[in-house]
Chains A and B, each alone.
Chain A
Amino acid sequence: MSAQADEGSPFSLLPEEGRQHFRLLELPPDLLELIVSEPSTSLHFKSGPKSSKAGLNSDAVICTPNKTYNIRQVNTSNSVYICQPTSHNDDDDDENPQPGLQAIAQSSWTLELSSTASPSAVPYLKAALPTYSSTGTYQSNELRASKQQIFDDTPLSQAECEAAWKDLACFEVESDPKGCFLPTASAKVQVWRAILESATAAGVDFGGNQLSLKQVEMVIDRSDEDWPDELGRAMLASVCDHEGMIDQGRGVRAVGLDLLAVEGTRGMHVSELLKKWKDALPEKWRAAAKVEALPRSEYTLSDDRKTITLAGVGSGVAAAAAESKSTLGAKRKWHERFRESKKTAK
């Protein structure tokens, strides 16, 4: 009976100097499916700019064209060898090479992937883009990054970046100045009001059948415009659906939020908001102007629901919590305040 140690295929190790460097990446079912059945789909490792701002992730992610996976490095104390067949075995004679297995790399950690909870590129764009304000002033933009460069620096998929770009009515200007900009809320309100006035004067029916961005663009009078065409187009796109058709829901929501951002950072009367809101909408949209039409996370109500405040900015409750969070020694107070505000916010 031959020695048991003679059975089996030779197994060898490459010394450390010769080893290759691999990473092991766990594939969730949907990503596996994509790689196996649609291998031409582009995948990218991305990471965001280093930042301690809340809501900004500076860790690495993997993106498909429309989905983002967070990456988590998980270590193991085991020795995980990546092996390949070899025919070079030291105890063979060259005339009878026996196929063997050789460990060509070792990895002590695996990358695990998880889906992002509710991915939004909005905070990244807000952090990265200089503003364009209603006075026609461009914030200084030394970087002059292109739209794609900004997207490349954002740890979210191309589709998620495009969605945020569209929602925020961001625009890119070719020259004088060159670069990408984020319009302020008051700039957006101003542009929207002008577009609405011009379109209404030209007989555009906002309550009617499918109305496309192109149709509106064609009829509006640009002669009095102080702002770049690109912003006008971006403003219209922000109220369109993904097929380029004007969408009442998006329009009502965008105008309401922008008005709240302009006047409601320290709170405003709900009645005042509703009045201005309706004034800024086409007649057939006005009935839809209600507080409930705004995303719940964007505002807080107080004073028996008579006062509405933009969330997360200025003297809102969320902002106060964020401010005291950065104060050393106030940690306990912040937790108490935050807990309180969680109870009262509706």
Chain B
Amino acid sequence: MPAIPLHPPAASRTPSIPNPLPQLLQTPSGLAIVEIQGTLNSTLSAPQMGPHGSIPLGKLSFPLYDPLAAVQNTAWQKLVYLYVGRHQRLTGEVRKLGKPLAVVRKRGGNAGVSDDGGEGREAMEIVEVVYYKVLFAHRPEPVGGGVEG
């Protein structure tokens, strides 16, 4: 079986879109990892989807994060909210990964087209190395719209 090359992250990767995450969680390509215990079930039908085919879930918020505060202030990492729909909220935290994760995909994106000369050899690439994740490990709790919890 031929050996499949694994290419390193592109040195020049930069996100073209502003990144809403706190600085610590921002990576050169913009990729980040969010982990939820259990599964997110979508019961949305097609008309409810967003104009670009995406399924809106809710809002991700870092209530204690202050971009102007000193970097050593890490207390904000302990509280992250993921509002799901208008009535549920998951509580989570930022966790540093024990071992950083390489996010790997087939080269040539998903089109299945190899950009590897004329050989058509399969290749993989590391798109990003991620050092942190946002982990939601608690059961969702109900939140009322407009009511302070």
Q: How far is the CA of A2 from the CA of B147 in the complex (A)?
A: 9
What is the size, in residues, of chain A's interface with B at 8 Å between Cβ atoms? 65
Q: Check if A88 sits within 8 Å of B50, measured CB to CB.
A: yes
Q: How far is the CA of A206 from the CA of B127 in the complex (A)?
A: 54
The residues of B that contact A7 with a CB separation of less than 8 Å are: 59, 61, 63, 81, 83
**Given A20, A27, A86, A153, which contacts B17 in the complex, CB threshold below 8 Å?**
A86
Given contacts A1-B148, A5-B86, A45-B124, contact A99 B18 (CB under 8 A): yes
Give residues 35-53 of B contacting A (CB, 8 Å). Answer: 35-40, 42, 49-53
**Given A3, A10, A18, A36, which contacts B129 in the complex, CB threshold below 8 Å?**
A36
A-B contact count (CB 8 A): 213
Q: Does A32 contact B (CB under 8 A)?
A: yes
**Given A4, A15, A87, which contacts B53 in the complex, CB threshold below 8 Å?**
A15
The residues of A that contact B3 with a CB separation of less than 8 Å are: 44-46, 63, 152
Q: Check if A78 sits within 8 Å of B35, measured CB to CB.
A: yes
Complex: chain B residue closest to A38, CB-CB: B8
Q: Does A28 contact B (CB under 8 A)?
A: yes
Q: Check if A22 sits within 8 Å of B55, measured CB to CB.
A: no
Q: Which one of A100-108, A133-141, A180-188, A243-251 is at the interface? A: A100-108
Q: Check if A85 sits within 8 Å of B58, measured CB to CB.
A: no
Interface centre among A24, A85, A91 (most CB of B within 10 A): A85
Q: Check if B5 sits within 8 Å of A24, measured CB to CB.
A: no
Q: How far is the CA of A87 from the CA of B52 in the complex (A)?
A: 11
Q: Does A14 contact B (CB under 8 A)?
A: yes
The proximity string for A residues 14-55 relative to B, scoring 1 for CB distances below 8 Å and 0 otherwise, is 110010111111111100100110011111111101000000
Given contacts A9-B59, A24-B101, A46-B3, contact A90 B54 (CB under 8 A): yes
Q: Check if A87 sits within 8 Å of B17, measured CB to CB.
A: yes
**Given B20, B35, B126, which contacts A99 in the complex, CB threshold below 8 Å?**
B20
Q: Does B117 contact A (CB under 8 A)?
A: no
Q: Check if B35 sits within 8 Å of A11, measured CB to CB.
A: no
Q: How far is the CA of A24 from the CA of B145 in the complex (A)?
A: 37
Q: Check if B35 sits within 8 Å of A81, measured CB to CB.
A: yes
Q: How far is the CA of A90 from the CA of B63 in the complex (A)?
A: 23
Q: How far is the CA of A80 from the CA of B130 in the complex (A)?
A: 13
The proximity string for B residues 1-18 relative to A, scoring 1 for CB distances below 8 Å and 0 otherwise, is 111111111010001011
Given contacts A8-B59, A12-B55, contact A24 B35 (CB under 8 A): no
Q: Check if B146 sits within 8 Å of A3, measured CB to CB.
A: yes
Q: How far is the CB of A39 from chain B (nearest CB, A)?
A: 4
The proximity string for B residues 54-97 relative to A, scoring 1 for CB distances below 8 Å and 0 otherwise, is 11111111110000000000000000011100110100000000
Q: Does A219 contact B (CB under 8 A)?
A: no
Q: How far is the CB of B93 from chain A (nearest CB, A)?
A: 14
Q: How far is the CA of A4 from the CA of B143 in the complex (A)?
A: 8
Q: Check if B31 sits within 8 Å of A13, measured CB to CB.
A: no
Q: Check if B149 sits within 8 Å of A4, measured CB to CB.
A: yes
Q: Does B140 contact A (CB under 8 A)?
A: no
Complex: chain A residue closest to B32, CB-CB: A83
For this complex, 10 residue pairs linking A to B, each with C-beta atoms less than 8 Å apart, are A11-B59, A23-B104, A24-B101, A32-B129, A44-B3, A78-B37, A83-B34, A84-B15, A152-B1, A153-B1
Beyond the given pairs A5-B86, A44-B4, A99-B17, 11 more chain A to chain B contacts, judged by CB atoms under 8 angstroms and listed by A's residue number, are A11-B57, A12-B56, A20-B105, A23-B105, A35-B8, A39-B11, A78-B38, A80-B133, A85-B21, A89-B56, A90-B49
